[in-house]
Amino acid sequence: MGISESGLPIETVYGPESLAGWDPTTALGEPGEYPYTRGIYSSMYAGRPWTMRQYAGFGTAAESNQRYRQLLAAGSTGLSVAFDLPTQMGYDSDHELAHGEVGKVGVAIDTVADMQILFDKIPLDQVSTSMTINSTASTLLLMYQLVAQANGIPADALTGTIQNDVLKEYISRGTYIYPPKQSLRLTADTFAYCNNEIPKWNTISISGYHMGEAGATPAQEIAFTLANGVEYVRTAIAAGMDIDDFAPRLSFFFVSRTTLLEEVAKFRAARRVWSRIMKDDFGAKNPKSQMLRFHTQTAGVQLTAQQPEVNLVRVAIQGLAAVLGGTQSLHTNSFDEAIALPTEKAARLAIRTQQVLAYETDITKTVDPFAGSYVVESMTDELETEILKLMGKVEDLGGAAAAIELSFQKNEIETTAYDYALQIDKGERTIVGVNKFEIDSEEHYEPLRVNPAIEAEQVERLEKVRTTRDNAAVTKALDEIKRTAEGTDNLLYPMKTALAANASGGEVADALRSVWGTYQPKNDF
């Protein structure tokens, strides 16, 4: 007998007795029907493959634009934008805290002018765009809308997703700005704004990915993510929104690890748990409100700098797990990401991995290939039980936001991550090329690096915008943001006015900081 990543037992052999008393009608249903264990669409990939996204963004907007066009030419069907840390934290490229970080882990976007360069010659009404951005998600979405507007593309033609999941930032990632209550207000305002102005946009991607990367088990990843989802739903309802008006645009974002069987079971359990929460706890009547739609990214934390070519195998297995689990879109990591930014060749190989899965295997020919599997159905049930137990602990603390204030989720994940690292150090868990099957010398690999000169170029471009805009109009618009932040009106409308006047993202964030302050984490739980 073995032990799963979630600490649950894995039997050597599973048989009919493993599912004694199991009711497939209740547990499974049909594909595309409640409780959606078998997938949210009746035909799944037999109808069409998942959306093949590639996450990219580095250096300047012009450099990232070039990579996006290469990915689209290689067959990617959706873009996924990575932003640098200053952009994520609401600092302009010339801020003292931005020094040395401009363009490093994503693209630097200070103004609408940068966003125009980023999407130059890309048809925004034909490409689905996902933006991995949280505390400043509303700002970047409004910039995107303004670029589309300038290109004559109506907002109701735009499709894509903003991550906009700030609760997980307090748990596992750290790019929060404002206190949780104010962050949730901005999230609810974004829900309402998109419902009225950008109706096809997915207003949030409630993310477990970063929890998984921080060391969460599969059960913790799903439990804490769905608990955050419950908090967002409650926030929107408290703001006066009807569940069936906004819930169909909710989406999720998970990691896919190399432990294929547990990952498949995890995705199936997540769909089942969420559908029952939405139907039974919140009374959602629209079937689309009950569906858990999710994007998946292969596990970056499992990639190794040692023998990096082995990562190609890891990514293929992780991608296969996501597809067998029924993901709606997928990003496959490049094999060289443990070393530096992906090279063009590595990024192309990553998208080719998805294309092989979609077009050279038979897994797209049938829906939910593991349905009825003794092992997968047993693991799905066991994970569901563990997920609900963890969600119950969060609820007992007052819900996700209250538990975050107590550092509950953060401490649970950190404990798990520490135990995992100890297992690797002791050789109890094998990592190929790291603690077993090592080689004496590594082949030299020349990674892609960001030119440090881009920071000066970005600052110069920002200064040019500031010297050519109507600064009186910008000041007036920023003052209106402050006034609205003190009240209850929707913030995105004055924010859009400010950005259209060429206010920078940092200036918009500063306006909110001046009213709301910044979050200071409390002592550990």
Provide the Cα torsion 414, 415, 417, 420; round to 10°: 170
pLDDT tens, position by position, 426-449:
999 999 999 999 998 777 767 667
Q: Please give the structure tokens belonging to residue 161.
A: 């997703």
Mapped onto helix, strand or coil, the DSSP state of residue 230 is: helix
According to DSSP, residue 433 is labeled T
- At residue 128, φ and ψ (nearest 5 deg) are -85, 125
Taking the C-alpha atoms of residue 496 and residue 115, their distance in angstroms, rounded to an integer, is 14
Taking the C-alpha atoms of residue 213 and residue 420, their distance in angstroms, rounded to an integer, is 12
Q: Where are the beta strands (DSSP E) in 236-336?
A: 250-256, 294-298, 329-331
Give me the DSSP letters along 335-372. TTTTTSBPPHHHHHHHHHHHHHHHHTSSTTSSS-TTTT
User: What pLDDT does 431 receive?
Assistant: 94
Provide the Cα torsion 450, 143, 168, 421; round to 10°: -10
Taking the C-alpha atoms of residue 303 and residue 286, their distance in angstroms, rounded to an integer, is 40
User: What pLDDT does 523 receive?
Assistant: 58
Mean pLDDT of 476-502: 98
Taking the C-alpha atoms of residue 324 and residue 364, their distance in angstroms, rounded to an integer, is 9
pLDDT tens, position by position, 53-106:
877 667 789 989 998 999 899 888 788 899 999 999 999 999 999 999 999 889
Choice among 26-30, 86-90, 146-150, 240-244 with the minimum mean pLDDT:
26-30
Indicate whether 373 pLDDT > 90.
yes
Q: Which residues contact residue 297 at a Cβ distance below 8 angstroms, ignoring those fewer than 6 apart?
A: 55, 209, 253, 254, 255, 256, 330, 331, 332, 333
User: What pLDDT does 520 receive?
Assistant: 87
Residue 121 region by backbone torsions, left for phi larger than 0, else alpha for psi between -120 and 50, else beta: left
User: What pLDDT does 448 receive?
Assistant: 65
pLDDT tens, position by position, 162-200:
999 999 999 998 999 999 999 999 999 999 999 999 999
The secondary structure element, H or E, covering residue 290 is helix 287-290
- How does 234-265 read in b/e, with b if 16+ C-beta sit within 10 Å? bbbeebebebbebbbbbbbbbbbbbbbbbbbb
Contact predicate 261/375, CB 8 Å: yes
What counts of helices (H) and strands (E) characterise the chain? Answer: 21, 11
Mean per-residue pLDDT over the chain, rounded: 94
Q: Which residues contact residue 464 at a Cβ distance below 8 angstroms, ignoring those fewer than 6 apart?
A: none
Contact predicate 216/416, CB 8 Å: yes
User: What pLDDT does 340 receive?
Assistant: 81
As a three-state string, the secondary structure of 292-314 is: CCEEEEECHHHCCCCCCCHHHHH
Q: Classify the C-alpha dihedral 369-370-372-373 as positive or negative.
A: positive
Q: Where are the beta strands (DSSP E) in 76-144?
A: 78-82, 128-132
Q: Please give the structure tokens belonging to residue 463.
A: 């200064």
Indicate whether 525 pLDDT > 50.
no
Indicate whether 454 pLDDT > 50.
yes
**What domains can be seen in the chain, in order of their start residue?**
2-16+42-425 (3.20.20.240)
Mean pLDDT of 300-316: 96
Mapped onto helix, strand or coil, the DSSP state of residue 130 is: strand
Higher pLDDT, 400 or 525: 400
Mean pLDDT of 350-359: 97
Indicate whether 366 pLDDT > 70.
yes
Indicate whether 6 pLDDT > 50.
yes
- How does 459-498 read in b/e, with b if 16+ C-beta sit within 10 Å? bebbeebbeebeeeebeebbebbbebbeeeebbbbbbbbb
Tell me how long the chain is: 525
Contact predicate 374/481, CB 8 Å: no
